[in-house]
A = this chain, B = another copy of it.
Amino acid sequence: MKDADNTNSAEMWVSYRSDLEVLDCTIRDGGLMNDHRFDDETVRAVYQTCVAAGIDYMEIGYMNSPKQFPREDFGPWKHSAEEDLRRIVGENDTALKLCVMADAEKCEYEEQFLPAGESVIDMIRVATYIHQIPTALEMLRVAKERGYETCCNIMALSTLREPELREGLDLVVQSGIKAVCIVDSFGALYREQIDYYYDLYHSYAEPHGVTVGIHAHNNLQLGFANTVEAIIKGAGVADATMAGLGRGAGNCPMELLMGFLHNPKYHHRPVIECVSKVIEPMRESLKWGFDLPYMMTAILNRHPRAAMSFKDSDESGDVVGFYDRMLDGV
């Protein structure tokens, strides 16, 4: 892997960038496929794998509002209550940092963000659409005041007009965050576009000492390639999930990322074991991963929800019909 400043091909393949950190979001992003209903055994297996593999952060769930999303309608990883976290990780006496994602306008952050000293959580990532940035900034402020590392994900990047994106970036990089993530929610970006957005994000982030992260989806089978691309450009945090488990076409697979990175602190074998024994057996019921409907939503730069509902419908065998309806804008 190359250093950000090194633009000659095929150099630095044997050494590594010690500043790059890896964030596992298997349970958080994968929870979008099962209403966050993972059993404790699965969450504990992913946690223990992250520890054994030397992964830097594990995003264990959402911290969204139990008022908006009643506990009886979702699994525990929609809310990530402290008692649920501790049932899995105890005091988390490991080098792995724990993270939760809080959605702008979906989180009772004044109540849900405990003082950091009372929580096993180390970092809070706030996910926001561009029009929610003022709320996101308030959430980031509260999280930081209470002692957490913070990070901001501006979602649905590929649909944004550039002036609004620039204004949003300008605001969030001044909020004391550790990282701002390039979030390809629709899995719609090609590598030259990753380059373009990396340069844009970096130009806002770097003067404030903020790093740029990457969160890629696999609708065009580019989740891993785009993650590598952002790393080549200089990204400081890379998101990945075991077996690529995540919404729709899924995410950058951790087993590929671990096979690519050369930092000796990372270990591949625990990831192979978790993927083959814990995650792959869920594929038939959770149905994440690349396929034609997810590819089509990405090509049209749309949210994968149309593909998800098509796949759950009685017409799920008629992919050509779905293609025709998507082109018609239905």
> Given that A195-B9, A319-B272, A323-B269 are contacting pairs, would A292 and B255 also be in contact in the complex, using a CB cutoff of 8 Å?
yes
Residues of B within 8 A of A256 (CB): 220-221, 295
Which residues of chain B are near A296, meaning CB under 8 Å?
272
Which of A22-30, A171-179, A185-193 contacts its partner?
Answer: A185-193
Q: What distance in Å separates the Cβ of A142 from its nearest Cβ neighbour in chain B?
A: 36
Which B residues touch A16, using CB under 8 A? none
Q: Is A10 interfacial (CB 8 A cutoff)? A: yes
Q: Number of A residues contacting the other chain (C-beta, 8 Å)? A: 42
A56 within 8 A of partner (CB): no
CB nearest neighbor in B for A193: B10
Asked whether A184 is an interface residue with its Cβ less than 8 Å from the other chain, the reply is no
Closest to A220 in B: B256
CB of A307 to closest CB in B, whole Å: 13
Q: Mark A204-236, 1 if CB is under 8 A from B, else 0.
A: 000000000000001011111110110010000
Is A78 close to B, CB under 8 A? no
Least Cβ distance of A207 to chain B in Å?
Answer: 21
A320 at the interface (CB under 8 A from B): yes
**Per-position binary interface string of chain A over residues 249-279, scored 1 when its CB falls under 8 Å from any chain B CB and 0 otherwise:** 0000101100110000000110011011100
The answer to whether residues A320 and B273 also contact, given A220-B224, A221-B221 and a CB cut-off of 8 A, is: yes
Residue of B at shortest CB range from A327?
B269
Would you list 5 pairs from A and B whose C-beta atoms are within 8 A, ordered by A residue?
A: A13-B192, A220-B256, A220-B260, A272-B320, A275-B292
Closest 7 CB pairs of A and B: A225-B225, A276-B319, A10-B196, A9-B196, A9-B195, A259-B299, A221-B224
